[in-house]
Amino acid sequence: MKWLTVLSVSFVIFFFISAGCTSQSSSGEEKIIAGVINDVKDKKSGSVVEDDSIRKNRDTSHVSPGEEKESSSTFSDNDRYLHYIKIISPSVLEKLKNEINADEYPVHNDNGDLIGIVSPGKLYIRGDLLDLQKQKGKAGKIFSKTDVAEHLVDIIFGNDNAKLLLFKSNKDYQFWLDAFYTVDDKKFLLELASHLNALSDTTQFEDEELALGFLKTNYADIPYNFYNIKIIPQKMLDEFKDNRKSDERLIKDSEGKLIGIVGNDHLYMLDSLSSEDRQYYMLYGILFSMGLHGTTYSEKDSFFYQVGGIRNTELSDLDKEAIKLLYGGRLKNGMDMEEVKKTLGLKV
């Protein structure tokens, strides 16, 4: 999953963003891009094929014809096409994401924004990273450690759990679909795996492929902890309800209709749900299994705020900080509320 190309691309993205923070003009951005290209060249002893718009904007007025010819002669065929980097607009990047190939993978920042697409031979990166970073800096809230800790306690402990139950960290988790899943389901889960990986220092999720259909477990070394998602008809869901275990919780919609069942390592969902509802309850179920059983009554933009029929479909910034704290390594399986509060420095 992590090969040499991804390491070099990570360096490119880091260099681009860090250098970009000091740039205030279009000419400065050109220097950043040129610096990225030169750095990749130095790292890999090769060259990069530049975007036409970058090449046209480079200032070559100080280079004489003779010097330009001499410089060009230093390139060999072996130096070319080491890694193709193209700067594109967010809209084009979104279009490419919908047409992604098997060897291409999306790259997200810590806020979950799509900032690039990488493959073994090329990198597409959005050209408004500076503006994106500025927007996040202006709009983002600053939370104190107490804010995050108190919110975490709220969204951990519900009526059905007295003790914390975390995902394991001995192996990566892999989402396993074995019923009536769709292409959109698969895409959503892979993107979610990538987002969760950015929030967790302990448990990680396989974000390149899913387990699909029949799961072969008849070999000694099972490489993953599996999280099973079944999308099934009402009749089958009712049968699971009648035979449910003590660790399973029923999921009902706003009208009280049974639409799912969630356990520690699995989620069963009704197949007649809309695409939007399906994704919402996938996120709800997976977060529940990760130990987030509670509700907040104060943070109105939180995913866990469910007062008066309000339903937020995405994690808020405070939710993300809370999950980072939950899976940062300080909290342990089996802790009760008092132990969690003591560990987080809250009043008991």
Q: Where are the domains of the chain?
A: 4-137, 145-344
The mean pLDDT of 145-166, rounded to a whole number, is 91
Q: Which of 69-78, 145-154, 248-257, 321-330 has the lowest mean pLDDT?
A: 69-78
The CATH code belonging to domain 145-344 is 3.40.390
Q: What is the mean pLDDT of residues 303-308?
A: 89
Tens-digit pLDDT profile for residues 224-267: 999 999 999 999 999 999 999 988 999 998 889 999 999 999 99
Residue 8 has pLDDT above 60, yes or no: no
pLDDT classification of 217: cutoffs 50, 70, 90: low
Residue 9 scores a pLDDT above 70: no
Residue range 36-41: average pLDDT?
44
pLDDT mean across residues, the chain: 79
Residue 235: per-residue pLDDT: 94
Res. 322: pLDDT tops 90? yes
Tell which wins on pLDDT, 181 or 111.
181
State the helix-helix crossing angle for 317-326 and 145-156, rounded to 10 degrees: 80
- Is the distance from CB of 344 to CB of 153 less than 8 angstroms? yes
Higher pLDDT, 92 or 112: 92
Do residues 172 and 224 touch, judged by C-beta distance below 8 A? yes
More confident residue, 205 or 133: 205
- Note whether 292 and 340 are within 8 A (CB): no
pLDDT score of 158: 82
pLDDT at 75 over 50: no
135-153 confidence digits (pLDDT tens): 554 445 688 999 999 999 9
pLDDT score, position 100? 83
User: Which of 95-104, 212-221, 308-317 is least confident?
Assistant: 212-221
Residue of higher predicted confidence among 138 and 87: 87
Q: State the pLDDT at residue 133.
A: 66
Weakest mean pLDDT among 93-102, 129-138, 165-174: 129-138
**Global confidence as pTM:** 0.62
HEC string of the chain?
CCCHHHHHHHHHHHHHHHHHCCCCCHHHHHHHHHHHHHHHHHHHCCCCCCCHHHHHHCCCCCCCHHHHHHHHHCCCHHHCCCCEEEEECHHHHHHHHHCCCCCCEEEECCCCCEEEEEECCEEEEECCHHHHHHHHHHHCCCCCHHHHHHHHHHHHCCCCCCECCCCCCCCCEEEEECCCCCHHHHHHHHHHHHHHHHHCCCCCECCCCCEECCCCCCCCCCCCEEEEEEEECHHHHHHHHHCCCCCCEEEECCCCCEEEEECCCEEEEECCCCHHHHHHHHHHHHHHHCCCCCCCCCCCCCCCCCCCCCCCCCCCHHHHHHHHHHCCCCCCCCCEHHHHHHHHCCCC
Does residue 290 carry a pLDDT above 90? yes
Q: Which of 11-25, 173-187, 257-271 has the lowest mean pLDDT?
A: 11-25
So what's the pLDDT on residue 249? 93
Taking residues 271-297, what's their average pLDDT? 95
**Which pLDDT score is estimated for 268?**
97
Q: How high is the pLDDT of residue 122?
A: 85
> In the chain, what percentage of residues exceed pLDDT 70?
72
Cβ neighbours for 53, distance < 8 A, ≥ 6 positions apart: 87
